[in-house]
A = this chain, B = another copy of it.
Amino acid sequence: MTVSGTDPATVETVELRIPRKAEWVAVARLAVAAIASRMHFTIEEIEDVKLAVAEACTNAIQSADASNQIHIVCEADHAHLRVTVANANIEGAPAGAPPAPVEDDVRVDGLGVFLIRSLMDDVEYEVHPERGTHLVMIKRLAS
């Protein structure tokens, strides 16, 4: 995968895999907040990244997909944080049951993706027929 938006010479990668379940999203959120904090983003920017990554995880959980993990890749260089969120499977593990239907009576469609687009500087969906949807988002450090 090319690291568009980050400098391959200096990029540092943190990878996280969580079970594809609502109760683990907070772990992803806090890990990504720690990464953004290490990169010296402002408190407001850290909150932005935290919410955007959580929304991407929530989408991954609510999508009609039988994968059992969420795979989060954070690539940091001196000027950007690039986060990729994708559904994944533990190799060899049986696929989990498909997620329960979303039972919100008010499903504000698009609010999650709208927030991600508002809070991050660059957002892309990479649709891989084999590997599912990858949501890629970039936050730039003020220089």
Interface of A toward B, CB cutoff 8 Å: 12-19, 21, 23-24, 26-27, 30-31, 33-35, 38, 90
A107 to chain B, nearest CB (A): 26
Query: How far apart are the CA atoms of A104 and B17 in the complex, in Å?
Result: 35
Give the shortest distance, in Å, between A91 (CB) and chain B (any CB): 12
Give, as a whole number of angstroms, the nearest-CB distance from A89 to chain B: 12
Cα distance A90–B75 in the bound complex, in angstroms: 13
Query: Nearest-CB distance from A51 to chain B (Å)?
Result: 16
Output the least CB separation between A30 and chain B (Å). 4
Min CB distance A21 to B, Å, is 8
Whether B17 pairs with A27 at a CB distance below 8 angstroms is no
Give the complex CA separation of A33 and B35 in angstroms.
14
Residues of B within 8 A of A12 (CB): 19, 21, 24
Q: Which residues of B contact A90 (CB under 8 A)?
A: 13
Docked Cα-Cα span, A19 to B76, in Å, equals: 11
